[in-house]
Chains A and B, each alone.
Chain A
Amino acid sequence: MSNSHVLLKDSLGKKVLLLGNEAIARGILEAGISVVTTYPGTPASEIGDSISEIAKDTGLYMEYSTNEIVATEVAAGAANCGIRALTAMKHVGLNVAADLVMTLAYAGVRGGYVIVTADDPECYSSQNEQDNRYYALLSSLPCLEPSNAQEAKDMTISAIEISEKLELPVLLRTTTRVSHTRGPVTYGRTIKPHLKGEFIRDVKRFVMVPAHSRPKHSVLLKKFEMAKEVSENSPYNKIVQNGKSMEIALISSSSAYNYAVEAADMLGLDVSILKLGMTHPLPEKMIGKFLKKHAKAIVVEELEPYLEMQIKAIAKDYAPNIEIYGKMSKPCFPREGEFSTRIVATGLAEITGKKVSIDFGKIDEKYAEVTKDLPRRPPILCAGCPHRASFYVIRKVAGERALYSTDIGCYALGIAPPLNVGDIMTCMGASIGTAEGISKATNANTFAIIGDSTFFHAGIPGLINAVYNNHKIVVAVLDNLATAMTGHQPHPGTGMTGMRSPTEKISIEKVAEGCGVRFVKVVDPFNVKEAETVLKEALRFDGPSVIVFRAPCTLIVVRERRRKGAELLACKINEKCTDCMACIKVLGCPALIVEEGKVGINEALCSACGLCVSVCPYKAIECVKIR
């Protein structure tokens, strides 16, 4: 990419429209962060992706690491050589990195180090909606929470400064609405990355054997006391409004703060508002004094009552008689799902006895009536997706009675009818170990369905376990040559790095062989006959088997064809079609349509993968050039 990249614009002091995640990337440049690591995951992906686009131009080092703990190890390792570093991940990624983070807090870091965790209230693209502010509480690490794109940038810089002051990693916690909302951001000066560091030996500090860990725990608690002072004086913790009557205190952070301000305004509430941007450790004295001046406090926060719990503890010392509303003893807001101005306004109205001027009930009623039979439109596998071919073959050979343990990625969409592949799915890499347990318990034909990037991320230990403990499972690695769902990032099997440099391609089949798997085959899922034969062999094999179903993501194929100006192909129904609906019934391809009882093909969607050609019993579908 050239200097025309939005993050490299010469726009000092000017407002630029940036996605929250791009704002963090800009913050990386303005903070002089020199090492950025990540494993892609929605809603965090664009942080790493933006940096990957400009890394070569700016001189900083960026990598897509194999998984989140490796990403954290690499960046923290660099930070301990005095370099400024950042790691970005989605909320559940921090579960993977947690083992390192908990002890890294003891040793601390020498250069500034920020861990971005992007939480996903409402599970827009996630398997849970855990509130990662609890990781701050668990690890004693400081935590900043931006509420918009401008703050996302500013806090990235502040997080580095706090990290260096305390010699501790700092968590920067966003939510989907912060990461994926575009807003105006004023650019400041960038700092040239500084990649040359030095590791100064300090065995007592960095080698966490028990004798060293014990005193380091005390060190961490001392740093925590310093962090409290930072929080008391943080510009991000501020009273933004004093109410006239000083009766009600409203305390909020992150996206919830925006809803709270709008809802209070809508209801015409007379409230004082305390906005918290540094939410670990909390500014106890500031909150205590604020509570003292009011009769009631309302805590507005998404997900867990993280602030409320601590504010209640603070109130015990400062204002024991204050009434505190939130989600605990006086629940007014839900503890699950994403907030909205409506949810917050409804809660605030309940507490204050004010009336919401909008009749939401009436809107709901009318909306329910209008959308009563509205068909859903969940995400589905794209037309031409190689996973559809793999699932078709697997389902055809192994059938209803086999059990399918699946994993995190596009292929989780295989659960949709008519493919119906996916009986259990929990977290990255869990498909393999879970299949082993199920196979042991049921003796059924058991599949682990796992993607290429997920295999490298966390699949390998499970595979080794299958060999070591002789679990007879079939591991189907659906290799589409990219981390597709999050935006086609490269991974160890692609031969490309985050710096956009070519590198060694790591072969999944060789890894499987190296793990001791004796049945390893690679098939093209669109070659249905061959794939069926191999699958049957695998099911007969006495021991764990690995089949790599390899075909590139169709979005990449089509994009490449367009870029090269190559001929575009599509499938076409010929006169032999009897409208038997075989293709419709088994494939669920969005390009296959039925109009007036006749099967048709949407040319704009079709990528001519030819799967329907293989499936049609009457040879009634063929691939043709469309331009």
Chain B
Amino acid sequence: MREFNIVLAGVGGQGILLAAEVLGTAAIKEGLNVQVSEIHGMAQRGGAVVSHVRIGEKAMSATILEGHANVLLGFEPIETLRNLKFASEKTTVIMNEERITPPELTAKQIKYPSMEEIMEKIHCFTKKVIVLDAARLAKKAGNILTENVVLIGALAAAEKLPLKNSSIIEALRELVPAKHLNVNVKAFKFGYETVKKGQD
């Protein structure tokens, strides 16, 4: 494999940039080349946020080519749809089912699309879809704010990710405050186990 490409997509405030940094740090720990792109500034809170993580010797540019994501890690359903152009039939979509209603829908009092509609759209690109309730797992781990780490756990269970769980946990140790480490490790495990169980 030349490279492993991950698109992380969601809403500002969901911890997407931290999740991307954890993956990048884990890659460095394994001696792999990595590029992690971020967009800061205007989209600090409430706006659509996307980060690309590219792992592999030949990864030079910061962004992933359309149709070339190995995994699309969706923190929110609408934002998952917004980034489908990076997916192909080979892509695994891992999606958090928690909906964050865009203000435009609230203002116009339009309903959030149903899960059936969302799945149908994802299926136009790929049939490999894993949906999980990261909020529930994060709460179970002890802190709703660890949804991002639940999703990293889910990603770790995906096929061919060139990162060991131990490296990701090491990266967490480095990047989250010590007093929150245990909750984060739990969140990681819950995400990982949920996907593993689904695959069996």
Query: Is the C-beta of A566 less than 8 angstroms from some C-beta in chain B?
Result: no
Q: For chain B, residues 1 to 55, give those with C-beta under 8 angstroms from any C-beta of chain A.
A: 11-12, 20-21, 24-25, 27-28, 31, 33-48
Query: Is the C-beta of B182 less than 8 angstroms from some C-beta in chain A?
Result: no
Measured CA separation A375–B104 after assembly (Å): 7
Query: Is the C-beta of B149 less than 8 angstroms from some C-beta in chain A?
Result: no
Q: Contacts A341-B61, A375-B110, A382-B45; is A367 near B39 (CB within 8 Å)?
A: no
Instruction: For A370, give its contact among B25, B33, B125 (CB under 8 Å).
Output: B125
Measured CA separation A358–B48 after assembly (Å): 27
Smallest CB separation, A22 vs chain B (Å): 11
Contact A182 B21 (CB under 8 A): yes
Contact B34 A366 (CB under 8 A): no
Q: Contacts A376-B104, A382-B46; is A371 near B41 (CB within 8 Å)?
A: no
Number of interface residues of B (CB under 8 A): 52
Contact A182 B105 (CB under 8 A): no
Q: Which residue of B lies closest to A410 (CB)?
A: B44
Query: Is the C-beta of A19 less than 8 angstroms from some C-beta in chain B?
Result: yes
Query: Is the C-beta of A15 less than 8 angstroms from some C-beta in chain B?
Result: yes
List of B residues within 8 angstroms of A148 by Cβ: 35, 60
Measured CA separation A588–B102 after assembly (Å): 11
Q: What are the interface flags for A361-392 relative to B under an 8 Å C-beta threshold, 1 for contact and 0 otherwise?
A: 00110110111001111111110000000000
List of A residues within 8 angstroms of B21 by Cβ: 17, 182
Measured CA separation A341–B64 after assembly (Å): 8
Query: Is the C-beta of B115 less than 8 angstroms from some C-beta in chain A?
Result: no
Smallest CB separation, B52 vs chain A (Å): 9
Number of interface residues of A (CB under 8 A): 61
In the complex, the number of residue pairs spanning A and B with C-beta atoms less than 8 Å apart equals: 159
Instruction: For A486, give its contact among B39, B41, B61, B125 (CB under 8 Å).
Output: B41
Query: Is the C-beta of A43 less than 8 angstroms from some C-beta in chain B?
Result: yes
Contact A255 B66 (CB under 8 A): no
Query: Is the C-beta of B155 less than 8 angstroms from some C-beta in chain A?
Result: no
Contact A379 B46 (CB under 8 A): yes
Query: Is the C-beta of A604 less than 8 angstroms from some C-beta in chain B?
Result: yes
List of B residues within 8 angstroms of A12 by Cβ: none
Measured CA separation A380–B45 after assembly (Å): 7
Contact A125 B107 (CB under 8 A): no
List of A residues within 8 angstroms of B107 by Cβ: 417-418, 584, 588
Smallest CB separation, B152 vs chain A (Å): 15
Measured CA separation A17–B45 after assembly (Å): 25
Smallest CB separation, A590 vs chain B (Å): 5
Contact B28 A374 (CB under 8 A): no
Contact B79 A377 (CB under 8 A): yes
Instruction: For B65, give its contact among A17, A19, A341, A364 (CB under 8 Å).
Output: A341
Measured CA separation A376–B144 after assembly (Å): 26
Known: A364-B85, A366-B124. 4 other contacts (CB 8 A): A180-B40, A183-B36, A184-B34, A369-B124
CB-CB nearest 3 A-B residue pairs: A125-B41, A42-B41, A379-B47
